[in-house]
Amino acid sequence: MKIQVITLFPEMFEGVLGSSMLWKAADRGIADYSFINLRDFGLGPRKTVDDTPYGGGDGMLLKPDPVVAAIEQARQNDPDALVLLPTPRGKTYKQSDAKEIAAAGQQGRGLIIVSPRYEGYDERITQWVDRQYSIGNYVLTGGELPAMILIDSVVRLLPGVLGGETSAEIESFQDDDENIEFPQYTRPEDFRGLKVPEVLLTGHHGEIAKWRAKNAHKAGPA
């Protein structure tokens, strides 16, 4: 799956995409990450990418011309790619979205992810975007962390990434937020007086399945 990220800070992605499963996905040729530096599309001698908002207000906005030029270049590399924009104005991103995007990826549809900065972007860029996603009701300084969240959640669903060690099929949020995985325990049996629930030690699969079903759906303490 070809994944192109448009960003002013490509170096932010190195640690996340260069480690563990996301690195393995690239190493195995399942995911192919590349970066388009928005600064290369900046205007004038100073390669300007931002400007003040019409109507006044604090902060700067990404100008439409550099962003759209960068999306157009990414589209030349991958004409069928889905263009994603992380934004607090978007639909709340869920596991079902990750699954749908991963399924499209398996059909050969790549991703172009725009990572805004500053106070945001000129709204007209959304004409070049297929999906706008919010990753939660809080504000981050830029679109890079949301872009990494989108990439991680999608790439781990691509066949061959998780291998046998985890199955994405029995995890939380299969039905979006109605289904949360049951609590899990590993050795030691007694950790500082905190015991593993008895039933999990019995080897009785039926009782264990019942206990797990009863204890799924429960969110941990806030």
Q: Which of residues 111-150 bind ligand SAM (CB under 6 A)?
A: 116, 119-121, 134-136, 138-143, 146
Q: Which of residues 151-210 bind ligand SAM (CB under 6 A)?
A: none
Shortest Cβ 12–ligand SAM spacing (Å): 12
Structure tokens, 81 = 């790619």
Which CB sits closer to ligand SAM, 7 or 161? Answer: 7
Which CB sits closer to ligand SAM, 48 or 142? Answer: 142
Return the closest-CA partner of residue 135 out of 144, 127, 125: 144
Which CB sits closer to ligand SAM, 139 or 194? Answer: 139
* Beta strand 50-51 pairing with 61-62: antiparallel
Distance CA 203, CA 51 (A): 64
Distance CA 53, CA 103 (A): 38
Shortest Cβ 71–ligand SAM spacing (Å): 14
Q: Are 78 and 2 in contact (CB under 8 A)?
A: yes
Q: Are 109 and 167 in contact (CB under 8 A)?
A: no
Shortest Cβ 39–ligand SAM spacing (Å): 17
Q: Annotate each residue in 70-99 with x if it binds ligand SAM (CB under 6 A) or - if it does not, as one string.
A: ----------------xxx-----------
Is 8 among the residues that bind ligand SAM (CB under 6 A)? no
Distance CA 156, CA 20 (A): 11
Q: Are 128 and 71 in contact (CB under 8 A)?
A: yes
Is 64 among the residues that bind ligand SAM (CB under 6 A)? no
Between vectors from CA 177 to CA 108 and to CA 210, what angle results, nearest 5°?
Answer: 110
Cα 114 to the center of its chain, rounded Å: 12
Is 10 among the residues that bind ligand SAM (CB under 6 A)? no
Which CB sits closer to ligand SAM, 2 or 117? Answer: 117
Shortest Cβ 148–ligand SAM spacing (Å): 11
Judged by the rule CB under 6 A, the positions of this chain that interact with ligand SAM are: 86-88, 116, 119-121, 134-136, 138-143, 146
